[in-house]
Structure 1
């Protein structure tokens, strides 16, 4: 049984849903983010707003939510040539992947998360990687996660689980999962409580836009991250609409 979790928490829609997933199942949950020289710091600021809102709106979860950690990985930004670490237009690269791909990012994140989990006595790492609505990043694949789980468990000589609750669901089902988790938490506002929190406070936009919010939250509305989030919202709302 894995009851003590470390959530890779960027402050976006996916990682906020993963944090709620962990809080609904584990007795103790800590959060971890990385400053890797990303082109904007809005997500690092917004993740703190999400944590404050979770503590205030979900009392049952607040008691389980432990320490937050931020690790400086600026060296990753120095060695990567990506639209997430350079002020350049987002486009498809020659390798068939978008130039938002940061090679090795998730592998490095998980290695540091494993070391922190070992020190903190945590037995599960939760991450929002997904093979359904995603940009084709090879370090988000299920096979990659299984390989990293084995490597970390062997290297730490301790069974460490990598939990990927979003791996096989699309963005519409991610919105539904957030709704379900909010309802299960018994917070004021029922199932809509967590959805509203994600819309108001989370940040996923690659360009760091934080202006007038859309129905689905803040963002430029045009980058791949915003497009996925908006399309998922539209599909979810359409599915939730009562039939005539």
Structure 2
């Protein structure tokens, strides 16, 4: 990897899901150069990774100014994370609440590893802003999605790399209805439609049926949250229920 040399550049953690796609649009609206980073950790809903290039291409075509800012895409094999995880995100097991009180979709250390690797790549690429879709409003109690966790991680990364990274989480205090609204504010109905059709959120990886809110099984926690958020967005309401 070589340095891009851009002072006003960002690296977006882009999974192919609704949240990270909205974060990508948010970054494209603000920074001169935006690169993307995805992780293959053996996730059960690996189909989301197949949506990444389709969404990138669709956004670049629909919004030419953003297309000029859209830089390289990076994919990192983190299969070791899946190998050491026994969760409903990495195993064909029923989604339920674990003995710890957290849903068994929680993958310990995932966001910590994601941000650390992102910082290492950004360091080499000359990018100072890392953008992630972590959210404390609509989440399942994942401790690595909390604002305090991200702030502490920013301090640790800057100390450990002697740098001045800024970790941006534009969805941190938004519910799912607000996330749909943010997409509309950034790119109008055209972007909302791209997010609806080109992204994937369903935990079980179901992508055979297109619902009004997007593809998915319609029953897993991620689908229910996305559906409630979309319905509230259309109705102009707030939704702040956890998964």
Q: Secondary structure at the match of 1:129?
A: coil
| Structure 1 residue matching 2:60: 3-state secondary structure | helix
Distance 1:72 1:24, change over 3 A: same
Q: What is the Cα deviation at residue 55 of structure 1?
A: 1.2
Quick one: distance in 2 between partners of 1:46 and 1:166? 21
Please state if 1:152 is matched with 2:157. Answer: yes
Q: Is the aligned partner of 1:195 residue 2:192?
A: yes
Structure 1: distance between partners of 2:13 and 2:171: 13
Partner residue of 1:61?
Answer: 66
Query: What SS does the aligned partner of 2:210 have?
Result: coil
Given candidates 44, 47, 50, the residue that maps to 2:49 is 44
Tell me how far apart the structure 2 counterparts of residues 40 and 8 of structure 1 sit (CA, whole Å): 17
* Distance in 2 separating the partners of 1:227 and 1:76: 26
Q: C-alpha deviations, 1:150-192, integer Å up to 9, x for none?
A: 011111111000000000010000000000000xxxxxxxx10
* Partners of 2:92 and 2:60 in 1: CA distance: 35
SS of 1:117 mapped into structure 2: helix
Q: TM-score, normalised by structure 2?
A: 0.94
Report the secondary structure of 1:102's partner residue. Answer: coil
2:28, 2:139 → 1: CA distance? 25
Q: What is the number of equivalent residue pairs in this alignment?
A: 231
For 1:33 and 1:68, locate their aligned partners in 2 and report how far apart those are by CA, in whole Å: 8
Residue 41 of structure 1 deviates from its aligned partner by: 2.1
CA distance in 2, matches of 1:27, 1:162: 17
- 1:1-244 mapped onto 2 (5 Å cutoff): 3-182=8-187, 191-239=188-236
Q: Deviations over 1:42-86 (max 9, x none)?
A: 011011111111111110100000000000010000111110101
Question: Any conservation in 1 of the 2:45–2:202 contact (CA below 8 Å)?
Answer: no
Runs of 4+ with >6 A deviation: none
* Residues 22, 183 of structure 2: 8 Å contact kept: yes
Question: Is the CA contact (8 Å cut-off) linking 2:96 and 2:104 kept in structure 1?
Answer: yes
Superposed CA deviations along residues 120-158 of structure 1, whole A, max 9, x for unmatched, are: 000000000000011110000000000000011111111
Say whether the 8 Å CA contact 2:15–2:38 is kept in structure 1: yes
Q: TM-score, normalised by structure 1?
A: 0.93
Superposition CA RMSD, Å: 0.9
